[in-house]
Structure 1
Amino acid sequence: MNDSISELGSGQTLDVALTALTSERRRHVIRCLSESRTPTSLADLSTEIAAREFDAASGEPSPEAVKRVHLTLYHAHVPALEDANLLDYDAERESVALSKRGTRAKRLIAALEANFPDVV
């Protein structure tokens, strides 16, 4: 786990990255984007996050759930992750992709999940 932390940066940079990862939805964003090799549209990401959060076992998430997720991603979560340099956002195409630091953050999340499964 120490390697993952040191790769994110030190001091204030690390604090910004860790603060950005305190939100479960933001961790879902990192996980979803790590599964894609290409930039993902904000609309597709919203649908995937809604499915993960709202138990899609009963079917597709409702349009209202997807819209709520989209709004919070657009206004809060994507900007926070971008400010922490964990993802790259293309406003013109409304697409997102993990940055190199985001890939490192995914490893940190995985390490935390392995060591604290009931917390993360």
Structure 2
Amino acid sequence: MSAWDPTTAPDTALGLLSNARRRSVVKTIAANGGMATRQALVKAIVEDETGESIADAKTGCVQEAHISLYHCHLPKLSQHGIVDHNRETGEVVLSDDGEALKAAVETAEDTIGASRKAIEDFYR
């Protein structure tokens, strides 16, 4: 049973998309064929946020990303039917609703990019 319907719950979709880490989770899993490990998600988030490889990132940054995924972001995405997260194995699978949310992420990012360009052009 799906807990998220983009046609009846736009506030829920926007709430899920409001956090950069949740957007990163959806994009990373989608880019990996619909499945990723929790460690791969941590790596993607740390590298995106710090601009460094995970090997060069501070231990606290890596731990904080892992804790926030495990206790906050993955449960929230799972609760809304976007991902299936196996806490024991660390495997995270994108659901059909996750694919729909991925399209919403891409649309939002395209819109933001176009808006930034329009603002930059206006102030030149």
Please, what TM-score do these two structures have when normalized by structure 2? Answer: 0.77
Alignment of 1:1-120 (within 5 A): 8-12=5-9, 14-37=10-33, 39-56=35-52, 60-117=56-113, 118=116
- CA deviation string 1:30-87 (max 9, x = no partner): 1111111253221221122111111127x73222211110000001000111111111
CA RMSD across the alignment: 2.2
* Identity value in percent: 25
**TM-score normalised over the length of structure 1:** 0.80
Question: 1:97 aligns to what SS in structure 2?
Answer: strand
Give runs of ≥4 in structure 1 deviating > 6 Å: none
Q: Which has the higher contact order (CA 8 A, sep 6+)?
A: 1
Larger Rg: 2
